[in-house]
């Protein structure tokens, strides 16, 4: 996709961080912008910014882990704008501690948003795009954690590995189907957003009980490492710039942190040489 003006973009997780920066960029490109997020208050703030840029916009309260919410998002988008051309599967959450200390609720929440969000969105929007038979692009937001192991942040890393593989598979399937739909996967290192405060949007039915191991000292230690990393990260706008350079070039892998390539290379070498995983922390 080389021309963005007047096309319709949907952004999940649009109320904060990378998602709100993508939405702003879409608006500056002259697109019609559909904002989807679970956090209605923050969503209204993004909506105000997008309206002030002077483009048409629609906000939909949507929990991406719920298939029906995604269906409603699609219906409202088609009702308002008749089509969707650019889809950003960006909504994501993180919670850290040791794998055996994470609760079932932790697994259900993080996989629910990060992986089932993508599954629901793909099942809903790909058939719509195929029917449109127009040039479209799907951008899935994974992470460098999708190529490496992240001790203390295992569920997140498992979910992001799944997103990378899911995106690669979708890429192949689009080519096999000869469909006019391009796919990219974005794999940033640390970005300065509210990701370390993901708990703010955890649904009440997936909260941990106060005596759960998921509140132990290990969790606090990993949260501090994660918190400090995110705070020292690059800006969301830098990530968005890389994405918008990649889309017209149909670039699949978007690695916003060039230093992360060393970690990927080392992991691949370990696998191919059948070495044990290198300890890099
Ligand atoms: N910040 C980083 O260091 C970093 C690095 C690599 C990848 N990422 C990825 O970037 C994406 C965006 O995260 P961010 O860093 O901007 O964090 P953020 O917390 O600032 O924004 C995430 C947004 O997702 C929304 N969200 C949470 N649960 C949702 C749900 N069930 N349904 C719909 N929306 C929901 C939140 O309300 C929030 O607006 C995520 O997929 C994240 O994993 C972030």
Instruction: Tell me which residue has its CA closest to atom 24 in ligand 1.
Output: 13
CA of 28 to the centre of ligand 1 (A): 22
Q: Pick out the chain residues at pLDDT < 50.
A: none
Query: Separation of 89 CA from ligand 1 center, angstroms?
Result: 10
3-state secondary structure the chain: CCCCCCCEEEEECCCCHHHHHHHHHHHHCCCEEEEEECCHHHHHHHHHHHHHHCCCEEEEECCCCCHHHHHHHHHHHHHHHCCCCEEEECCCCCCCCCCCCCCHHHHHHHHHHHHHHHHHHHHHHHHHHHHHCCCEEEEEECCHHHCCCCCCCHHHHHHHHHHHHHHHHHHHHHHHCCCCEEEEEECCCCECCCHHHHHHHCCHHHCCCCCCHHHCHHHHHHHHHHHHHHHCCECHHHHHHHHHHHHHHCCCEECCCCCHHHHHHHHHHHHHCCCCCCCCC
pLDDT of residue 215: 67
Q: What's the rounded Cα separation, in Å, for the pair 45 and 16?
A: 9
Task: Please work out whether the CB of residue 194 comes within 6 Å of at least one atom of ligand 1.
Answer: yes
Q: Which of 156, 171, 253, 280 is catalytic?
A: 156
Contact by Cβ (8 Å): 53, 28? yes
Tokens 């997780």 sit at which residue? Answer: 13
Per-residue pLDDT at 186:
98
pLDDT tens-digit map of 30-46: 999 999 999 999 999 99
pLDDT at 223: 85
Going from N- to C-terminal start, the domains of the chain cover 8-272
Q: Output the CA angle 179-184-190, nearest 5 degrees.
A: 165
Looking at residue 208, its pLDDT comes to: 92
156 annotated active-site? yes
How far apart are the C-alpha atoms of 206 and 119, rounded to whole Å? 20
Q: What pLDDT shows up at residue 214?
A: 61
Task: Please report the pLDDT score of residue 210 as a whole number.
Answer: 74
One CATH from 3.40.50.720, 3.40.718.10, 3.40.50.970, 3.30.1380.10 for 8-272: 3.40.50.720
* Closest ligand 1 atom to 42 CA: 39
Query: Is there an atom of ligand 1 within 6 Å of 13 CB?
Result: yes
Q: What are the backbone angles phi and psi of residue 194, rounded to the nearest 5°?
A: -95, 15
Which pLDDT does position 46 carry in this prediction?
98
Q: What is the pLDDT of residues 161-188, one digit of tens each?
A: 999 999 999 999 999 999 999 999 999 9
Amino acid 125: pLDDT? 98
Q: How far is the CA of 279 from the centre of ligand 1 (A)?
A: 28
State if residue 198 touches ligand 1 by the CB under 6 angstroms criterion. yes
pLDDT at 96: 87
């Amino acid at each position: 996709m080389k021309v963005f003006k007047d096309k319709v973009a949907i952004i999940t997780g649009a109320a904060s961080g990378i998602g709100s920066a993508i939405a702003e960029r879409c608006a500056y490109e002259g697109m019609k912008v559909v904002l989807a997020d679970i956090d209605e208050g923050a969503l209204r703030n993004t909506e105000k910014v997008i309206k002030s840029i002077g483009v048409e916009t629609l906000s939909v309260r949507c929990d991406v882990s719920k298939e029906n919410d995604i269906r409603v998002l699609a219906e409202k988008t088609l009702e308002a704008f008749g089509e969707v051309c650019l889809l950003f599967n960006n909504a994501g959450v993180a919670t850290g501690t040791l794998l055996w200390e994470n609760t079932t609720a932790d697994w259900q929440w993080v996989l629910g948003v990060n992986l089932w969000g993508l599954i629901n969105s793909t099942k809903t929007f790909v058939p719509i795009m195929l029917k449109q038979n127009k040039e479209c692009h799907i951008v899935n937001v994974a992470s460098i954690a999708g190529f490496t192991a992240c001790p203390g942040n295992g569920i997140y890393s498992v979910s992001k590995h799944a997103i990378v593989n899911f995106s690669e598979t979708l890429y192949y399937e689009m080519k096999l189907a000869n469909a006019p739909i391009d796919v990219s996967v974005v794999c940033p290192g640390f970005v300065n957003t509210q990701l370390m405060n993901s708990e703010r949007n955890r649904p009440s039915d997936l909260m941990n009980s106060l005596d759960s191991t998921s509140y132990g000292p290990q969790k606090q230690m990993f949260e501090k490492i994660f918190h400090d990393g995110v705070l020292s990260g690059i800006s969301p706008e830098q990530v968005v710039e890389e994405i918008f350079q990649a889309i017209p070039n149909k670039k699949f892998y978007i690695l916003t942190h060039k230093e992360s390539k060393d970690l990927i290379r080392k992991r691949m070498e370990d696998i191919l040489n059948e070495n044990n995983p290198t300890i890099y922390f």
